[in-house]
Structure 1
Amino acid sequence: MPLVTLTTDFGLKDHSVAAVKGALYSELEDVEIIDITHLISPFHIIEAAYVIKNAYHNFPKGSIHIVGVDSEITPENKHIVMALDGHFFVAANNGILSLIASEVNPDEIVEINIHDRVETNFTVLDIFIKVAAHIARGGNLSVIGKKLNEIKQLKHIEPSVNNENKQMIGHVIYIDNFGNVVTNIKRQSFLQIAKGRSFTITARSQQFKKIYESYSDAINFSLPKDQREEDGKKLALFNSSSYLELAIYKSNPSTVGGASSLFGLKALDTITINFDE
């Protein structure tokens, strides 16, 4: 049974998601459809890249991942299929897939060329579904596209480091459901530069001098509950995907706020780490 995942910025109010699923079932009666998310911020390709990168490898090999974010075809936004790590990704060549391919080399990339055979004004519904069905039936990628050697690169994937290795500059790439702020600084990169030195993380007016192993690691549970610093406790940690995250312990964006609102941070804002001598 073919497995197809969907990641879009369509939201849940309109008919778009249901239409795409219906078209998939019409093409492949035994298909299994999994929603990764339909709540990507509109046209936010960095947010989509982060979500897909951290979700896809949990699915079985052979899965087909349809990415409907900033997917309208234009002369500067062509459609591609990428075979990588035993998975297939159908998306626009807008940089989304470059984050996934930054650590694993693609096996094959093609630029989809079936648009003249399909009448469409909804490319995810009409083009991406046809392509996914072709792959699910075992079709070769060369039938639906011409080979590409490289894809458009996404900016802000890698943090920068100055020549003296005294400063690392990253950016906010994602804000999660709890308002926690995820940066593009990964644990391995940080450790390679830090080399055991003390440091100061600066995000606007907020500073952090310690990175915790988990959210609860920031709380001193040896103290009586009424003496602990819990509510509003700010912390930095490497999250489950090994990205540096700035957070508020047990935050709730709809009531007290989260790190994003309380720290005044949004996507692409700068995060600076200064290392001591």
Structure 2
Amino acid sequence: MSIITLTTDFGYKDHSVAAVKAALFSELKNLNIVDISHEVSPFHITEAAYIIKNAYHNFPKGSIHLVGVDAELSPENKHVAILLDGHYFICANNGILSLIASEIKPSKIVEINIHNSIETNFPVLDVFVKVAAHICRGGTLEVIGKSISEIQQIKNLEPIVNDKQNQIIGHIIYIDNYGNVVTNITKKKFTEIAKGRKFVISARNIQMSKVYETYSEAINFKLPKEKREEEGKKLALFNTARYLELAVYKSNPHTVGSAASLFGLKLSDSVSINFENETNYVG
């Protein structure tokens, strides 16, 4: 059974998600459609890139991933089909796969060229569905596009390290359902620059000097519950995707607030880590 995933900024109020699924079912039998997310912020390709990177590899090799974010065809926004890490991706060539392709080189990239035979202003519904159906039937990418050597990269995905190697400047690339803010600073980059030194993480007027392994590690469970510092407890940790995340313990954006609301942070805001010059600290 073929697996096709959908990641879009369509939301659920409109008919778009249902229409795409209906078109896929009309094209293919024995199909399994999985929604990764339809709540990507409108046209936010960095947010989409983060979601896709951390979801796709959990699916079996050969899965097909349709990405409907900033997908309208234009001279500067071509459509591509990509074979990368054993998975197929169908999306606009707008940098949306930069986070994956920066670590794993695509095996094959084609610029889709079947648009002349399809009259549409909804490319995910018509073009992307047709390409996915073609792949599911065993078709090759060369039939639906011309080979190209590279995909577009998103600028500024990598954090900046200063010349003195004592500061990392990153920015927020994702805010999750709990209002936790995720930066583009990876644990690998942090460890590489830190070298055991003390540090201070700064974001607006918030500062932290410790990174926890888990959310609950920030709570002293040896104290009676009424004496614990739980509500509003701010913390930093490397999340399951190994990106630095700023969070509030058991936050709820709709009631007690979250890191995003309480810290006054939003997408693209900067987050810096400053390290002491001495290297005698082991943390």
TM-score greater than 0.5 by the shorter chain: yes
| Separation of aligned partners in 2, 1:75 and 1:31 | 33
Structure 2 segments unaligned to the other structure (5+ residues): 278-283
Match of 1:162 in 2: 162
TM-score, normalised by the number of residues in structure 2: 0.97
Structure 1 segments unaligned to the other structure (5+ residues): none
* Superimposed CA distance per residue, residues 192-218 of structure 1 (whole angstroms, 9 cap, x where no aligned partner): 000000000000000010000000000
Q: Offset at 1:256?
A: 1.5
Q: Offset at 1:15?
A: 0.5
| Separation of aligned partners in 2, 1:192 and 1:63 | 34
Count, aligned residues:
277
**Aligned amino acid, residue 21 of structure 2:** K
SS in 2 for 1:58: coil
2:90 maps to 1:77:
no
Higher mean Cα deviation, 156-165 or 231-240? 156-165
2:225 maps to 1:225:
yes
Match of 1:272 in 2: 272
Q: Offset at 1:156?
A: 2.7
Residues 156 and 184 in structure 1, CA contact (< 8 A), matched pair in contact too: no
Which residues of 2 match residues 118-267 of structure 1 at below 5 A?
118-267=118-267
Match of 2:89 in 1: 89
2:68 maps to 1:68:
yes
RMSD over aligned Cα atoms:
0.6
Q: Offset at 1:140?
A: 0.7
Query: Where in structure 1 do 4 or more consecutive aligned residues deviate above 2 Å?
Result: none
Match of 1:17 in 2: 17
Q: Offset at 1:188?
A: 0.7
* Superimposed CA distance per residue, residues 152-196 of structure 1 (whole angstroms, 9 cap, x where no aligned partner): 111231101011101000000000000000000000110000000
| Separation of aligned partners in 2, 1:224 and 1:102 | 47
Which residues of 2 match residues 85-124 of structure 1 at below 5 A?
85-124=85-124
| Separation of aligned partners in 2, 1:272 and 1:124 | 38
Q: Offset at 1:276?
A: 0.2
| Separation of aligned partners in 2, 1:155 and 1:31 | 36
